[in-house]
Amino acid sequence: MTRQFSVTTGSNLRCKGWRQEGLLRLLENVLAVGEDPANLVVYAALGRAARDWPSHDKIVETLRTMNDDETLIVQSGKPIGVLKTHERAPIVIMANCNMVGQWAKAENFYELEEKGLICWGGLTAGDWQYIGSQGVIQGTYEIFMRIGERHFDGELAGRFVLTAGLGGMGGAQPLAGRLAGAVTLCVEIDPERIRKRIENGFLEKQAANLDEALAMVAEARAAKRAISIGLLGNAADVYEDILARGIVPDVVTDQTSAHDLIYGYIPANRTLAEARAMRKDDPVRLMEDSRASIVRHVRAMLGFQKAGSVVFDNGNLIRTQARDGGVTDAFDIPIFTEAFLRPMFSRAIGPFRWIALSNDADDIRKIDDYVLAGFSDNRIVTNWIELARKNVPFEGLPARIAWLGHGERTKLGLAVNKMVREGVLSGPVAFTRDHLDAGAMAHPNIMTERMRDGSDAIADWPLLNALAMCSSQADLVAIHSGGGGYSGYMTSSGVTIIADGSPEADDRLRLSRPLSERI
């Protein structure tokens, strides 16, 4: 059967209520904007929306038929039952990819996945929160802006950002870089990904080769003109080449799927086709090749750092893979969360997204107007909304993300629910809090690296967050742990609430605040 990936829109309900319908539309949306929907893969190499197609179809059927006083239980992407609960209980709760400590290793994950027993949900795939590259774009933009403030007299105009990976998340980098005023060169091994990012407006140009790319960079740097350039190539090769030419970018990072040595990273000594074939035919050799390539890749990044570039790890485990391959100083490169985002997390400011379930882009514009007026004293947010409404193309259901803080999320949620109730908006709006939020993720090499009190590896917080969300009436609550190359590295939780205009939705939005904001 050939499947079509689109979202049902408008005001017709296929389910018994908007809570179920909203979650169903979000499931449709993650596949519609996902990287490889035919295989249920949404982003990050292996992050899936459901375990397999029969599981997916059963989830859809259940959402369409279940009552308001029932709760669907999903275990690693497979629906395993519907509980009679009550109308204030979540519609869906899920636990994806949680393995027991000593067993939580990539090789065990692959074996269990092969047997059809487990599936990795990424952070936003398995719990149907992904909204395309626009989901991570403000985070990426804020990182670039903080770098500009800290290292380049407040701006990135005329500054050269070298990065790699134009996948589901990495695809946000060229647009975030352009919005920050920088000259961004993005190396990508898969021509299809470059084509997709140009087509959806996240990337401006593709250079024919490295010489042309560097000429474009030099010209834009001199003119202090923001531009994003894609280059087909392997990042390990290209980074080494640029370093050898003595060219020092101002900022260097990487967002290839380096966390997964089999399904994510493409080693420099293999073509894309060879690496894909080896996933089944010779995965052990492929892992070795990927690791060897990452060693070169990170050594080049360290070379740039020594030459004066601001280098940071953008949350893809590349330093860890390199250290395991013998690069003892890989952790001289700082992680983005500690270096740039933690000051925001520590004030309970985190990424918050809203998605127009009707598919009406005007709904998002009206919410933009509200945010600009209602949060006029918050320069970070108003600056972002002004930029986003002019420059960030919608992918799938119209959506927006903004980093909102203490009390602000509740204020926005309640205002939007009122707008739904009063018919100002053409349909309900889904709110999601990504796992990348204060207290929502434990990952000692990304989110919780070098915590001041040394609590990096304690995963109680995301679990408490999820339990608190269930008891606070949220509509969907998910607990995830890492899969593939992330196995054993992380535990996180996420939450979704459907603002359908009802007084009950007011309660949900009021109660389901992040734990970090409540205690």
Provide, rounded to whole angstroms, the least separation between the CB of residue 238 and ligand NAD. 8
Min CB(384)–ligand NAD separation in Å:
16
Q: How many CB atoms lie within 10 A of CB 211?
A: 10
Measure Cα distances from 281 to 199, 273, 278, 373 in Å.
33, 12, 5, 57
Task: List C-alpha distances in Å: 197 to 132, 133, 238.
Answer: 11, 9, 20
- Asked whether 297 and 236 are in contact (CB, 8 A), the reply is yes
Q: Using the rule CB under 6 A, which residue among 97, 145, 187, 242 binds ligand NAD?
A: 187
Q: Is 240 in the site for ligand NAD (CB under 6 A)?
A: no
514 in contact with ligand NAD (CB under 6 A): no
Q: How far is the CB of 235 from ligand NAD (least distance, A)?
A: 4
Per CB under 6 A, 482 contacts ligand NAD: no
Size of the site for ligand NAD (CB under 6 A): 33
CA-based angle 52:54:57, to the nearest 5?
110
Q: How far apart are CA 149 and CA 142, in angstroms?
A: 10
**Nearest Cα to 499, choosing from 509, 486, 512?**
509
Q: Which residues contact 345 (CB under 8 A, 6 or more apart)?
A: 337, 437, 438, 516
Tell me whether residue 106 or residue 425 sits nearer to ligand NAD (CB atom).
Answer: 106
The residue range among 90-98, 161-169, 326-334, 497-505 that interacts with ligand NAD, by the rule CB under 6 A, is: 161-169
- Asked if 166 touches ligand NAD (CB under 6 A), the answer is yes
* Residue of the chain from 91, 136, 327, 371 that contacts ligand NAD (CB under 6 A): 136
- Pick one of 25, 56, 193, 435: the residue that binds ligand NAD (CB under 6 A): 193
The least CB distance from residue 371 to ligand NAD, in Å, is 22
For residues 332 and 205, what is the distance between their CA atoms, to the nearest angstrom? Answer: 33
Pairing mode, if any, of strands 47-48 and 41-43?
A: antiparallel
Whichever of 258 and 505 has its CB closer to ligand NAD, that residue is 258
CA–CA gap between residue 246 and residue 268 (Å, rounded): 21
Choosing from 167, 249, 350, 444, the residue that interacts with ligand NAD (CB under 6 A) is 167
Report in angstroms the alpha-carbon separations of 74 from 48, 183, 374, 464, 478: 13, 44, 37, 19, 9
Q: Is 234 in the site for ligand NAD (CB under 6 A)?
A: yes
**Which amino acid belongs to residue 77?**
G
Owner of token pair 């709110």 = 431
Please count the other Cβ atoms lying within 10 Å of the Cβ belonging to residue 237. 18
Question: For ligand NAD, which residue has the nearest CB?
Answer: 167
Q: Does 257 sit near ligand NAD (CB under 6 A)?
A: yes
Q: Does 314 bind ligand NAD (CB under 6 A)?
A: yes
Stretch that binds ligand NAD, among 42-50, 277-285, 375-383, 492-500 (CB under 6 A): 42-50
Three-state DSSP at 188 gives strand
44 lines the binding site for ligand NAD (CB under 6 A):
yes
Residue 164 binds ligand NAD (CB under 6 A): yes
Residues 496/475, Cβ–Cβ less than 8 Å: yes
User: CB 222 → ligand NAD: shortest distance, Å?
Assistant: 27
**Contact status: 483 vs ligand NAD (CB under 6 A):** no
Nearer to ligand NAD, 316 or 417 (CB): 316
* CB-CB contact of 446 with 258 (8 Å): no
Closer Cβ to ligand NAD, 44 or 459, answer by number = 44
Pick the binder of ligand NAD from 77, 249, 264, 444 (CB under 6 A): 264
Based on the shown chain and the rule CB under 6 A, indicate whether residue 321 belongs to the binding site for ligand NAD: no
> 90, exposed or middle or buried, with CB in 10 Å at 0-12, 13-18, 19+?
buried
Candidates 183, 222, 227; CA nearest to 205 is 227
Q: Which is nearer to ligand NAD, 43 or 109 (by Cβ)?
A: 43
Does residue 190 interact with ligand NAD by CB under 6 A? yes
Could you tell me the CA-to-CA distances from 335 to 28, 315, 331 in Å, in that order? 33, 7, 8
139 binds ligand NAD per the rule CB under 6 A = yes
By CB under 6 A, residue 360 contacts ligand NAD = no
Asked if 30 and 49 count as a contact pair (C-beta separation under 8 A), the reply is: yes
The answer to whether 45 contacts ligand NAD (rule: CB under 6 A) is yes
One of 75, 76, 134, 255 touching ligand NAD (CB under 6 A): 255
CA distance 467 to 455: 20
Among 22, 90, 148, 170, binds ligand NAD (CB under 6 A): 170
157: Cα separation from own chain's centroid: 26
436 counts as binding ligand NAD under rule CB under 6 A = yes
User: To the nearest 10°, the Cα dihedral for 442, 448, 452, 458?
Assistant: 20
Does 235 bind ligand NAD (CB under 6 A)? Our answer is yes
Q: Are 356 and 164 in contact (CB under 8 A)?
A: no
Binding to ligand NAD by residue 76, rule CB under 6 A?
no
Sole window of 25-33, 55-63, 66-74, 311-319 interacting with ligand NAD (rule: CB under 6 A): 311-319
* One residue of 315, 444, 488, 494 binding ligand NAD per CB under 6 A: 315
Q: Which one of 51-59, 81-89, 177-185, 310-318 is the stretch in contact with ligand NAD (CB under 6 A)?
A: 310-318
CA angle in degrees (0–180, nearest 5) for 467-469-475: 125
Residues that bind ligand NAD (CB under 6 A): 35, 43-45, 136, 139, 164-170, 187-190, 193, 234-236, 255-259, 264-266, 314-316, 436
